[in-house]
Structure 1
Amino acid sequence: MKLARKLVFALVLLAFVVIAGLETVEVRRELARSAQDMQHDHRLLGHTLGGSFVRAWELEGEEQALTLLSQANRFQEQVQLRWRWLDSPEVATLLPEQRAELLAGRDISFVDERPLPGVLRSFTPVSLGSRQGLIEIAEPLTEQHLHLRQTVVGAAVATGAIFLAFLVVAMAMGRRLVGRPVEQLVGLAQRIGQGDLEARVHLRQQDELTTLADAMNQMAGGLAAARAQVTAETAARLATLEHLRHADRLGTVGKLASGVAHELGTPLNVVLGRAKMIASGEAEGDETQESALIITQQVQHMTGIIRQLLDFARRRTPQRAPEDLAELVARTLKLLHPMATRRGIILASEAEGPLLLEVDGGQIQQALTNLVVNGIHAMKRPGTLRVRLGRARALPPVELGGPEAEWVRVDVVDEGEGISPETLPRVFEPFFTTKDVGEGTGLGLSVSYGLIRDHGGWISVSSEPGRGSCFSIFLPPEARGPQEAEA
């Protein structure tokens, strides 16, 4: 039930109770007055007839006195007059206290309910010498009950009319003062809940609901300002994060440059040699065509290496698309092959087969590159760095939430010196690094974790000093963002 209807119902019920109570009191008061009037009339009639009855008895005898009562009955339609001796059997049926009143010479009146609808009986003492008599006055209560019924019906009709009038007025006022303003406030709350922070409501009344409306308007204004501030701060944070990621990418490109330069050395030597042969005339006929073909192949090979490096370094907005992770791992290891070869490290890939996910391939490659480069730097002597790709059941970390489920897992396992237990909890902190000055910025692992987190996954690490480390990337099998993963 709506608030306005509750208030109207409560007020109308209260009004009905008050009016009904007042009418009940008025009806009882009217009945009491009517009873008092009837008793008073009986008393006057009894005393008047009593004096006449005594004089007639004394002057003309008993028969003439009784005739006087009989003649008086003919003039009374409702009232019946009778003569009773105080010691008669009829009077003996009265209550002891009533007989005591009569013996003391006082009038009595009472309602005899044996004949319906009841009779008002009054007794007036009359002294005839040494003997005591009574004039009995009996009047049926038919007219009184009829008057009572008419009074009750009139009171009920008046109460009903007042009740209906009050109900109509209360409903109209409740609708205007409570119902409509509350509906406007509910509509405002719904619009704010739906994101319309420009919504406002203005009430044309001065009460608590107006105060509430003003407070809600101020709240909407505050939320709009807060949303604008959050939007601006989020945009700034994303821009800063993208700058950090791009800086980390360029740092990795710098590390790859020397390896790429070495990788370009052999094709350049081949191109230079074949070009000299053509220029000096050593290559003739079919050899000239063969040399040109070899030069073309080597240039295409070098162009592919340079394009791969540029694609890795180029800044671009995140863009999800179906990506085979097995192919992405192979492409990443090929890019890092020159860097690993200079350190005598073998890069090995272990994949169960093609694994298609809808991800941002460039971001995943950047995260994977950071982990592999980190593993290469951790290996101070020749060895094998393995990248394993498959599926595994895992329980997400507390900050991500959710039940244990199946995830796509990418393990980067190195044979380096490992990470000490006191350092392990801090490896993903921005700008935290254990490398020598000039070898790292401390952003690689932090950026990688952020990239994977944006895809609804996470990175875990396990390490044993002296035996190497394992960084594990967990990605959801379906395309999900961080908000969906947390939900």
Structure 2
Amino acid sequence: MTLARKLVFALVLLAFAVIAGLETVEVRRELSRAALDMQQDHRLLGHALGGSLVRAWEVEGGDQALMLLSQANRFQGQVKLSWLWLDSPEAADLSSEQRAELLAGKDVSFVDERRAPGVLRSFTPVGIGPRQGVIAITEPLTEQRLHVSQTVLGMAVATGVIFLAFLGVAMAMGHRLVGRPVEQLVEFTRRIGQGDLEARVHLRQKDELSTLADAMNQMASGLAAARAQVTAETAARLATLEHLRHADRLGTVGKLASGVAHELGTPLNVVLGRAKMIASGEAEGEETRECAQIITQQVQHMTGIIRQLLDFARRRTPQRAPQDLAELVAHTLRLLHPMATRRGIHLASEAEGPLRLEVDGGQIQQALTNLVVNGIHAMKRPGTLRVRLGHARALPPVELGGPEAEWVRMDVMDEGDGISPETIPRVFEPFFTTKDVGEGTGLGLSVSYGLIRDHGGWISVSSEPGRGSCFSIFLPPGAGESEEAEA
């Protein structure tokens, strides 16, 4: 039920209650007035007959006096007159209080409900010598009740007509003053909820609803300005974040450059040696063709290494595509193998098998590379750095929200010195680093966390000083994984 209808029905019910109450009071007043009039008529009739009855009794005797009452009944219609001695058995219907009042010379009247539709009985005391008698007057309430019924019916009809008229006027005024403005405000809020912040509402009235409409218009203007500001700030933030990611990627490329150079050294030496053999004439005939094939193979190998490095460093927008995470992990570890070898660190991977997800392979590789490089730097002594890929049930952090569910989990476990408990809450802050000056910018973990959050996941860290650290990447399972599992 709408607000306008509620107000209308409330007002109509209130008006109906008031009218019904007034009509009820009026009916009761009419009934009381009619009863008093009947009692007054009975009293006048009783006293008029009482004086004549006493004189007739004294002059002509009791029989003639009672005959006078009988003759009076002929002219009274429904009113019946009778004589009653108070000390006779016929007066047993009177109560002791009524008998006492009559003996004291007071008139008594009451309604006898034992006979429908009720009878008004009045008694006028008349003293005949030493005995006390009364003139009993009885009159049925038929006409009075009929009059009351007609009065009630007329008042009910009048009340109904007034009720309907008031209902129609109230509904029309309620729709005009409340219903239509509320509908306009609801439509306005719906448009605001759909993002149309240029919408406005104008009410042709001056009341609280128009004040509310003005406040909502001001709210829409403020929201439009705030959205424009947020859009601009978001664009700037995204641009800054992309610059940070690109800078971190370039920094990672710089770290990989030395390893790549070492990786290129061996094929370059092979190419140089085979080229000298051909130039000096040492290789002849079939051997020359073999040298050329070896040179071609080594050049292709070097070209592949350089292309991988350029693809990793190239700046581009995120593009999701089916990606085998196990293959991505193996490729990343191969890329970082030279860097780890120089530190005497062995890179190992553990995977349940092929695991395909709809992800941006380059961004996931960048995040994984950052975590592996950090783990390599954290290991001051030779050891093994493991990357484990599989499934796990986990509860997302508060900022991400959601129930406990199945996630794809990628653990990077090093054997370094670990992280102190007071440092763990800050490891993902931009520009926060525990490395020596010149060894890191503090952007790697922050950028990695942002990349994983863009994929709907998060990164957690667990560490124990002196026993290494474990950085865990959680990614939501996608349709690609389900299809792979079914195949």
Distance 1:301 1:37, change over 3 A: same
How far apart are residue 362 of structure 1 and its match? 0.8
5+ residue gaps, structure 2:
481-487
Q: Distance in 2 between matches of 1:107 and 1:282?
A: 160
Q: Distance in 2 between matches of 1:380 and 1:130?
A: 140
Q: Distance in 1 between matches of 2:424 and 2:176?
A: 67
Aligned residue number for residue 293 of structure 2: 293
1:209 is the counterpart of 2:209: yes
Describe how 1:226-305 pairs up with structure 2 within 5 A.
226-272=226-272, 274-275=274-275, 286=286, 289-305=289-305
How far apart are residue 270 of structure 1 and its match? 4.2
TM-score for the superposition, normalised by structure 2: 0.82
8 Å CA contact retained: 1:457, 1:476: no
Q: Distance in 1 between matches of 2:301 and 2:2?
A: 78
Deviations 1:211-242 (A, max 9, x none): 33333443344334333333333332222222
Describe how 1:32-431 pairs up with structure 2 within 5 A.
32-52=32-52, 68-82=68-82, 90=90, 94-99=94-99, 101-102=101-102, 106-124=106-124, 135-272=135-272, 274-275=274-275, 286=286, 289-380=289-380, 383-393=382-392, 395-396=394-395, 398-399=397-398, 400=400, 406-419=406-419, 423-431=423-431
Q: Distance in 2 between matches of 1:141 and 1:464?
A: 107
TM-score for the superposition, normalised by structure 1: 0.82
Deviations 1:193-227 (A, max 9, x none): 44444444433333333333333443344334333
5+ residue gaps, structure 1:
481-487
3-state SS of paired residue (2:76): coil
8 Å CA contact retained: 2:345, 2:385: no
Q: Percent identity?
A: 82
Q: Distance in 1 between matches of 2:126 and 2:462?
A: 123
1:460 is the counterpart of 2:461: yes
Deviations 1:172-212 (A, max 9, x none): 33333334444444444444444444444433333333333
Distance 1:374 1:29, change over 3 A: closer
How far apart are residue 247 of structure 1 and its match? 0.7
3-state SS of paired residue (1:139): strand
3-state SS of paired residue (2:78): coil
8 Å CA contact retained: 1:375, 1:414: yes
3-state SS of paired residue (1:430): coil
Distance 1:250 1:41, change over 3 A: same
How far apart are residue 314 of structure 1 and its match? 0.6
How far apart are residue 308 of structure 1 and its match? 0.9
How far apart are residue 315 of structure 1 and its match? 0.8
Q: Distance in 2 between matches of 1:340 and 1:87?
A: 135
Which amino acid in structure 2 is aligned with residue 458 of structure 1?
I
Which amino acid in structure 2 is aligned with residue 390 of structure 1?
L
Q: Distance in 1 between matches of 2:414 and 2:64?
A: 145
How far apart are residue 63 of structure 1 and its match? 6.3
How far apart are residue 310 of structure 1 and its match? 0.6
Moved more, 319-328 or 112-121: 112-121
Paired residues, number: 478
8 Å CA contact retained: 2:415, 2:468: yes
Distance 1:387 1:479, change over 3 A: farther
Q: Distance in 2 between matches of 1:259 and 1:310?
A: 14
How far apart are residue 250 of structure 1 and its match? 0.7
Moved more, 238-247 or 73-82: 73-82
